[in-house]
Amino acid sequence: GVADRKIDWEKVNAKLPYGRDKESKRSRKKMFRSFDPNGNGYLSLAELDKGVRDVLQLGDVFDSKPAIMRAYKAARNKGKQKSKVSGDYVEWREFRWFLKSLRQYFEYWVMFDRVDTDDDNRIEYGEFKKAVPIMKKWGVKIEDPKKTFAEIDSNGGGKILFIEFCDWAIAKSLDLDDDIDEASDSD
């Protein structure tokens, strides 16, 4: 999985221009146009997926479909719906948030993959319990693994899915210990 690879976080950060400065905005506009081949101003999930793969060229680093899906939903939820189709697409005004979310969900995907040692895209209790020391490095101390596992497994399926892990990671402000964080840029 992705957890076994050495990730060049500087390269990842450089390819995601979500800052509020002029250069980031210029880069973002160019990127948005390259993600939007038909020029309609709306990016579908398929266009975002293709753009991340072909434009950002981070595919060798991430099998990132789950991260792209979460960032897509976050960006759509962030924007105000201006037309009948707005809720189904990411528009220019949501694109910065998509990139910023994508960076965060990439990080969560790496964490998730490090805990999911059998690479089945689900975390079983045994994997979770074994990863408690790793998660301490990410900023969360788990006293009762069984109880914490049950809290994260919100659908009660007996396994932690990526969406459940993300919800928990966000609530606990998890931070990967070996990535390179960007300078803070408030929303």
Judged by average pLDDT, the poorest of 13-17, 61-65, 172-176 is 61-65
Q: What integer pLDDT is reported at residue 18 of this predicted model? A: 94
What angle, 0 to 180 degrees and rounded to 10, lies between the N-to-C axes of helices 92-115 and 162-172?
100
Cβ-Cβ contacts under 8 Å for 139 (sequence gap 6 or more): 172, 173, 174, 175
What was the pLDDT predicted at 136?
Answer: 94
Averaged pLDDT, 103-121? 92
pLDDT tens per residue across span 65-99: 888 899 999 898 876 666 656 578 999 999 999 99
**DSSP code, position 177:** T
DSSP per-residue string spanning 118-174:
T-SSSB-HHHHHHTHHHHHHTT---S-HHHHHHHH-TT-SSSB-HHHHHHHHHHHT-
Confidence of residue 111 (pLDDT cuts 50, 70, 90): very high
- What pLDDT sits at residue 60? 56
pLDDT of 79 reads 65
CB-based contact 67:109 (threshold 8 Å)? yes
Measured CA to CA, the distance from residue 48 to residue 182 in angstroms comes to 22
Among candidates 2, 7, 8, 9, which has minimal Cα distance to 182?
9
Report the half-sphere exposure of 116 (CA within 13 A, side-chain side).
19
Q: State the pLDDT at residue 62.
A: 60
Per-residue pLDDT at 156: 96
What average pLDDT does the structure give for the chain? Answer: 87
Backbone dihedral region of 139: left (phi > 0), alpha (psi from -120 to 50 degrees) or beta?
left
C-alpha angle 180-18-138 in degrees, rounded to nearest 5: 30
Interval 115-126 mean pLDDT: 95
Specify the higher pLDDT residue, 52 or 4: 52
3-state secondary structure of 90: strand
Q: What is the pTM of this model?
A: 0.85
* 100 pLDDT more than 90: yes
- Provide the pLDDT confidence category of residue 19 given band limits of 50, 70 and 90: very high
Residue 112 confidence (pLDDT) above 80: yes
Which position has the higher pLDDT, 9 or 3?
A: 9
Share of the chain above pLDDT 70, in %: 87
What is d(CA 95, CA 72) in angstroms, rounded to the nearest whole number?
A: 9
Exposed e or buried b per residue across 54-63, where buried means at least 16 C-beta atoms within 10 angstroms of its C-beta: eebebeebbe
